[in-house]
Structure 1
Amino acid sequence: MNINPDNSGESLADQAIDWLVQMRSGSVTDAMRCEFEVWYRQDDAHRQAYVEAEMLWGSVAEAVKAAPPANLPAGQLRSVPQAVAIRRRPRLAGLALAASLLLGAMLGRGMLQDWLLSDYATAVGEQQQIQLADGSSVLLNTDTALALDWSAERRRVVLLRGQAEFKVVADTHRPFEVVAGDTAVRALGTVFDVARRESGAVEVSVTEHAVAVRLTDKPDVVPMRVEEGQHLQYVGSGGLNKPDAANLKQLNAWKRGKLIFNDQALADVVTELNRYSKAKILLQGQEITHFRVSGVFPTDSLAMLDALQKSLSIRMTKLGPWLVILHM
Structure 2
Amino acid sequence: MDRSESSAEIDAAASRWAVRTDHAPLSRSEQTELDAWLSGDIRRRGAFARAQAMLIHARRTTALGADFDPDAYLAAHRGEAEVETERFTAVDRRRFLRWGGSAAATAAVALTAWFGFDTSAEAYATTRGEVRLVPLHDGSQMTLNTATRAEVRFTQRERQVVLSSGEALFDVAGDAGRPFVVIAGNMTIRAIGTSFTVRRLPDRSVQVLVREGVVELRPGSGGSKPGTRIAANTRAVAVSDAPIRVADLPPAEVSRALAWREGMLSFEDETLADAAAEFARYSDWRISFADPALGGETITGLYSASNPRGFARAVALSLNLEVRETAEGTVLVR
TM-score (norm 1): 0.59
- Which of 226, 229, 232 is the aligned partner of 1:225? 229
Residues 128 and 140, structure 1, Cα contact 8 Å, conserved in 2: yes
Asked whether 1:271 is paired with 2:271, we answer: no
Cα-to-partner distance string for 1:12-51 (whole Å, 9 max, x where unaligned): xxxxxxxxxxxxxxxxxxxxxxxxxxxxxxxxxxxxxxxx
User: Amino acid of the residue matched to residue 318 of structure 2?
Assistant: S
Q: What CA distance in whole angstroms lies between the structure 1 residues aligned with 2:139 and 2:313? A: 41
Which stretch shifts more, 298-307 or 184-193? 298-307
Which SS does the other structure have where 1:200 is aligned?
Answer: coil
Q: What CA distance in whole angstroms lies between the structure 1 residues aligned with 2:122 and 2:324? A: 35
Aligned residues: 211
TM-score (norm 2): 0.58
Given the superposition, is the C-alpha separation of residues 119 and 217 from structure 1 closer, same or farther in structure 2, using an over 3 Å criterion? closer
Rg larger in structure: 2
- Which of 288, 298, 303 is the aligned partner of 1:297? 303
User: Amino acid of the residue matched to residue 316 of structure 2?
Assistant: Q
- Which of 304, 307, 312 is the aligned partner of 2:319? 312
- Which of 139, 143, 167 is the aligned partner of 2:143? 139
Residue in 2 that maps onto 1:78: none
Percent identity, aligned pairs only, is 30
Structure 1 residue ranges without an equivalent (≥5): 1-116
Which SS does the other structure have where 1:287 is aligned?
Answer: helix
Deviation at 1:164, TM superposition (A): 0.9
Asked whether 1:165 is paired with 2:161, we answer: no
Residues 283 and 325, structure 1, Cα contact 8 Å, conserved in 2: yes
Residue in 2 that maps onto 1:176: 180
Cα-to-partner distance string for 1:93-131 (whole Å, 9 max, x where unaligned): xxxxxxxxxxxxxxxxxxxxxxxx981111111100011
Q: What CA distance in whole angstroms lies between the structure 2 residues aligned with 1:327 and 1:217? A: 47
Given the superposition, is the C-alpha separation of residues 221 and 284 from structure 1 closer, same or farther in structure 2, using an over 3 Å criterion? farther
Cα-to-partner distance string for 1:57-82 (whole Å, 9 max, x where unaligned): xxxxxxxxxxxxxxxxxxxxxxxxxx
Residue in 2 that maps onto 1:252: 258
Residue in 1 that maps onto 2:95: none
Residue in 1 that maps onto 2:30: none
Residue in 1 that maps onto 2:65: none
Asked whether 1:124 is paired with 2:131, we answer: no
Structure 2 residue ranges without an equivalent (≥5): 1-120
Which SS does the other structure have where 2:243 is aligned?
Answer: coil
Asked whether 1:189 is paired with 2:196, we answer: no
Residues 207 and 238, structure 2, Cα contact 8 Å, conserved in 1: yes
User: Amino acid of the residue matched to residue 303 of structure 1?
Assistant: G
The 5-angstrom pairing of residues 18-57 of structure 1 reads none
Residue in 2 that maps onto 1:65: none
Residues 168 and 197, structure 2, Cα contact 8 Å, conserved in 1: yes
Residues 177 and 185, structure 1, Cα contact 8 Å, conserved in 2: yes
Runs of 4 or more above 4 Å deviation:
217-221
Residues 156 and 177, structure 1, Cα contact 8 Å, conserved in 2: yes
